[in-house]
Amino acid sequence: MHRLILMRHAQAQPSAPAGGDEARALSETGLRDAALMGRALAERGLRPDLALVSTATRTRQTWAQMHDALGDVEVRDEPALYNASADTLRRFVENSEEEAGCLLILAHNPGVHVLAVEYLTESAASPAVTDRLAGGFPTGAAAIFTVDVAGRCAYEGFLTPQSLGPQFLGAAG
């Protein structure tokens, strides 16, 4: 693997009519933001070969909104990614190193946020970068890392739907 994208699902409804937390669907904002993030990743050449997606409704819907922009991607719905810890997410990353040139993990906080901060700390990222991610990992956000031959992750970028700006929204069509 040469690139890793850690992404949190887009904004969800506050509750589900039935089925509990795992059944929460995306809000209208979440649907729009997920599609926007898919286009933003694609425009930056960040097209995963493999996407590991939590089985929660909101993560599967986030992927469905992103899919068209990202093209042909092998997708695996992974029940263990639902509310997974950073350690669990890290195991998924490590177990997928040989499978994909670019891996997308689409899951939940706090695990996604904690793992992103751990990678920043391990790679001795600048204080400005560390501070940016320490402030939170909003819905729909994606942290992008390059991965060296030893499997070490180095910060490449951080995208949020809000950071893309109105010019990108206008290109949404």
* pLDDT tens sequence across 94-123: 999 899 999 999 999 999 999 999 999 998
Tell me: pLDDT of 1 over 70.
Answer: yes
Read off the pLDDT band of 128 (50, 70, 90): confident
Q: Could you tell me if residue 170 is inside a domain?
A: no
Read off the pLDDT band of 18 (50, 70, 90): confident
Ramachandran quadrant class, 155 (left: phi over 0; alpha: psi -120 to 50; beta: rest): beta
Ramachandran quadrant class, 66 (left: phi over 0; alpha: psi -120 to 50; beta: rest): alpha
Domain count, the chain: 1
Q: Which of 23-27, 70-74, 127-131 has the lowest mean pLDDT?
A: 127-131
Per-residue DSSP letter, 160: -
Share of the chain above pLDDT 70, in %: 95
* 3-8/142-147 β-pairing: antiparallel
The whole-number pLDDT of residue 140 equals 97
Tell me: pLDDT of 171 over 50.
Answer: no
Q: What's the CATH number where 8 sits?
A: 3.40.50.1240
Q: Could you tell me if residue 171 is inside a domain?
A: no
Residue span of the structural domain in which 58 resides: 3-165
